[in-house]
Structure 1
Amino acid sequence: MSASSPQRPLYLADQVRELDRRAMAAENDDFALMRRAGEAAFDTLRARWPQTPRLCVLCGGGNNGGDGYVVAALAAAQGIDVQLVAVTPVERLDGGAAQAARLAQAAGLEPVAWTPALALEGDVLVDALLGTGTHGAPRAPFDAAIARINTHGAPVLAVDVPSGVDVDSGFVAGEAVRATLTVTFIADKLGLHTGPALDHVGEIVYVSLGVTPAAHSDVLPVAWRQSRHDIAVALPTRSPNSHKGAHGHALVIAGGPGMGGAALMTSEMVARLGAGKVTLATDPAHVTASLTRFPEIMAHGVRGSADLAGLVASADVIAVGPGLGSGAWGQAALASALAAGKPCVVDADGLNLLAEGFDGVRRDDWVLTPHPGEAGRLLGCSTAQIQQDRRAAVTALQARFGGVVVLKGAGTLIFDGETLELCPFGNPGMASGGMGDALTGIIAGLVGQTGSLSQAARLGVLIHALAADAAAKAGGERGLLASDLASYARRLANPYQS
């Protein structure tokens, strides 16, 4: 990833703690960084809720609790009525946290010891309970304090991380704060952007506190957060002398008996993303509907492997899987696609068939696009296990099957064996039938134009998510259909269009 890339680097908790340690050592002042973190959190709070008359700050121990005490002290100095709740007893604090607690007391605040009977009093709550070093379900008394925060009803600012969220994996093992806004420090964390964490982080504000992670060449990002700017970089304007043969011939093998809709959605997306030629191989019963809706697509009815031989030979890339079914038609279709030796995008029933009957297959020239359930079947584990550590899951899938793996879901991950990217876009309206078929078509449509499966996968995920966001903005998340994305995806694929 080039230094000029607008993508944001993402790190793990141990890496951030090392950056923290180096910053404190360079300043020779253990409290300076904590003071800046508290100031940044308070400034963010005031910018978001400028008229807040009452604040409730809940503090644990360690650096996270210390940040909370600094916030409380600053709020009191500006005349805000502060309820300061010590969930970790003040007498157990040490180091910077103890110094921060003394700062709050010097501002006239007396910490109130947490008890389950304590009423929280604040128009905004500040979660400074558990920091980045916490893994697993929060223990008492933090679990009860978190539950009380979540039932209070006031907006919540989480300091660095919502307590209970694993910042490495995004997993939530038990109670976790549901923040309105999370202000995170030093370096952005992978786990704040993927999986169950997205139900808890709210808006994320990143503040470096004067630390420059990129200056530490031995602390490499674990992933990169995608940017809208990536589209314009990857899809420049076309040459005036270009022709359809220069933009790829995609073959869509989809739509087994009774499942023609998947074939139509996939094929349309291939065409809308700019593939030069699109051929659809589908059950004969779907050909008439396909030609009626999309006369630009060359639709062929196929009954088995023999009918596919000539079609796979002429294609540059094959999209296979949507609506294949698990019967003989689907098995023959997948076998023909894989035997062709062409770049493939495999999704949906293609992945299920791969998990069931193609043991040991590994390729460098395919893109696999599983959702967590399909990923679990491919790895022989449960969906819940996939969601416990999505980074580990996408890494294991790529190691096992090769190529490029797209692990779909909130905070989609794309891994090609070298670079892990995370898509921060998309919305809950995408939880509807056909969205995966649309993504398959988008990626396949980009292969011939980018010349790279990895680039097509990364760009396809980005365009798919941004198109869904644009469609949801226009009409709302509820009722969002996969076919709604086509016109928006086309516009996104033409970033220089005036």
Structure 2
Amino acid sequence: MLEPSVLSSSTVENFIAPRKSTSRKGENGIVLVVGGSYIYHGAPILSSLAALRSGTDLVYTCVPKINVTSTRSVSPNLIVIPLVDQKLTLGAVKKLIGALPRNLHSATIGMGLAIQDKNSLLYLVKSLLDRDVRLSLDASALIPEVLPILANKNVVVTPHAGEFKRLFGNIPPDSNLERIELVEQTALKHGITILLKGPTDIISDGNVTYLCKKNTPAMTVGGTGDVLSGLVAGLLSTNRNCLESAASASFICSLAGKDVQEKLGLHMTSMDLIDSIPFVMKPFDKII
């Protein structure tokens, strides 16, 4: 087993890309978020707002057409693309691919997403990877059928323990040492970066492993995983290194969680978490 490193501010500050003082809109990240369903309309909104708060310039939020009005009403900052069907279908994906900007940097897929046809997800993932778009996959996008097309690509998967079992077939053990070893072996086997969520997040590409110890029970509220997915995609949009981006996202989400818990106790919502992101990220801001 590798010797994991506990994440700290001094480590993460090296992972956050600086911004040129002369940069223009779009040069600091363009992100696609694909998620949502009739019931889970809020998940892609949380991911999108978190990506924006990470410092990304533009976020395209793709949701089923039944969710478009509610999504647009939440924030004028979101560029909303309707998915023509209520669920992810092959036809809807093909239309979506044709509507996307060519200069996407990263995408996060799966938050609250209803998938009618697994092949539609595979087509979407492969199409984005073929365009050199870095990916973060979560929730319903975490199915074993997708693994063969992810190997040695710029991909982060962000499962909790149950999703880890569904994706890889193994239940993460309770022992932290065994849990770390399983994540490392699985990441190396499949050629991806894994961010296993839990009281301590484990982030590994099979060669290097980071731990993020959170101790924030207020973060059990719904939607915090969607915020994390948006942070991963946002940071991936300016840093191609999946391990560094995933580790940074985990650490920043943890800092925001601690900040909100100190202010609000056990009464956090995921929107509170998003509001805290700029304040905990500000010390990492660099302009060159």
Q: Does 1:291 align with 2:72?
A: yes
| 1:169-207, Cα deviation, whole Å (9 max, x unpaired) | xxxxxxxxxxxxxxxxxxxxxxxxxxxxxxxxxxxxxxx
**Mapped partners of 2:110, 2:241: distance in 1:** 20
Q: Does 1:466 align with 2:255?
A: yes
Q: Once superposed, what is the RMSD of the aligned Cα atoms?
A: 2.3
Q: Does 1:489 align with 2:277?
A: yes
- The structure-2 alpha-carbon separation of the partners of 1:475 and 1:291, relative to structure 1 and needing over 3 Å to count, comes to same
Structure 2 counterpart SS, 1:360: helix
- The structure-2 alpha-carbon separation of the partners of 1:299 and 1:413, relative to structure 1 and needing over 3 Å to count, comes to same
Match of 1:324 among 105, 113, 116: 113
Asked if the contact 2:31/2:104 (under 8 Å) is kept, the reply is yes
> 1:470: Cα distance to partner?
0.5
Tell me which amino acid in the other structure corresponds to 1:461. Answer: S
Show the counterpart of 1:366: 155
Segments of structure 2 that go 5 or more residues without pairing to the other structure are: 85-91
Show the counterpart of 1:267: 48
| 1:429-459, Cα deviation, whole Å (9 max, x unpaired) | 1112111111000010111222322211110
**Mapped partners of 1:323, 1:241: distance in 2:** 37
Q: Does 1:480 align with 2:275?
A: no
Structure 2 counterpart SS, 1:471: helix
Show the counterpart of 1:243: 24
Tell me which amino acid in the other structure corresponds to 1:232. Answer: E
**Mapped partners of 2:25, 2:222: distance in 1:** 31
Structure 2 counterpart SS, 1:440: helix
**Mapped partners of 2:7, 2:174: distance in 1:** 25
Asked if the contact 1:255/1:263 (under 8 Å) is kept, the reply is yes
> 1:484: Cα distance to partner?
1.2
| 1:254-286, Cα deviation, whole Å (9 max, x unpaired) | 113332110110111011101111101110111
Write out aligned runs for 1:329-408 (5 A): 332-333=120-121, 335-341=123-129, 342-351=133-142, 354-355=143-144, 357-358=145-146, 360-364=148-152, 365-384=154-173, 389-408=178-197
> 1:380: Cα distance to partner?
1.4
Q: Does 1:307 align with 2:95?
A: yes
| 1:330-376, Cα deviation, whole Å (9 max, x unpaired) | 7624531333212110011111xx22x33634422100111111111
Show the counterpart of 1:257: 38
- The structure-2 alpha-carbon separation of the partners of 1:371 and 1:313, relative to structure 1 and needing over 3 Å to count, comes to same
> 1:397: Cα distance to partner?
2.3
**Mapped partners of 1:236, 1:308: distance in 2:** 29
- The structure-2 alpha-carbon separation of the partners of 1:427 and 1:452, relative to structure 1 and needing over 3 Å to count, comes to same
**Mapped partners of 2:264, 2:174: distance in 1:** 35
Show the counterpart of 1:411: 200
Tell me which amino acid in the other structure corresponds to 1:316. Answer: H
Structure-1-length-normalised TM-score: 0.51
- The structure-2 alpha-carbon separation of the partners of 1:430 and 1:292, relative to structure 1 and needing over 3 Å to count, comes to same
How many residue pairs match? The answer is 273
Asked if the contact 1:423/1:461 (under 8 Å) is kept, the reply is yes
**Mapped partners of 1:232, 1:382: distance in 2:** 33
> 1:398: Cα distance to partner?
0.6
Write out aligned runs for 1:15-414 (5 A): 222-235=3-16, 238-303=19-84, 304-310=92-98, 311=100, 313-328=102-117, 332-333=120-121, 335-341=123-129, 342-351=133-142, 354-355=143-144, 357-358=145-146, 360-364=148-152, 365-384=154-173, 389-414=178-203
- The structure-2 alpha-carbon separation of the partners of 1:254 and 1:398, relative to structure 1 and needing over 3 Å to count, comes to same
Asked if the contact 1:235/1:493 (under 8 Å) is kept, the reply is no
Structure-2-length-normalised TM-score: 0.86
**Mapped partners of 2:230, 2:21: distance in 1:** 25
Structure 2 counterpart SS, 1:406: strand
**Mapped partners of 2:235, 2:147: distance in 1:** 29
Structure 1 counterpart SS, 2:108: strand
Write out aligned runs for 1:427-442 (5 A): 427-442=216-231
Asked if the contact 1:375/1:386 (under 8 Å) is kept, the reply is no
- The structure-2 alpha-carbon separation of the partners of 1:433 and 1:317, relative to structure 1 and needing over 3 Å to count, comes to same
Show the counterpart of 1:447: 236
Structure number with greater CO (CA < 8 Å, separation at least 6) is: 2
Structure 1 vs Structure 2: percent identity of aligned residues? 25
> 1:423: Cα distance to partner?
0.7
Show the counterpart of 1:196: none
> 1:379: Cα distance to partner?
2.3
**Mapped partners of 1:395, 1:449: distance in 2:** 25
Asked if the contact 1:235/1:495 (under 8 Å) is kept, the reply is no
- The structure-2 alpha-carbon separation of the partners of 1:334 and 1:360, relative to structure 1 and needing over 3 Å to count, comes to closer
Segments of structure 1 that go 5 or more residues without pairing to the other structure are: 1-11, 13-220
Asked if the contact 1:318/1:345 (under 8 Å) is kept, the reply is yes
**Mapped partners of 2:275, 2:122: distance in 1:** 29
- The structure-2 alpha-carbon separation of the partners of 1:419 and 1:496, relative to structure 1 and needing over 3 Å to count, comes to closer
Tell me which amino acid in the other structure corresponds to 1:350. Answer: A
| 1:441-485, Cα deviation, whole Å (9 max, x unpaired) | 001011122232221111001001110010000000x23222211
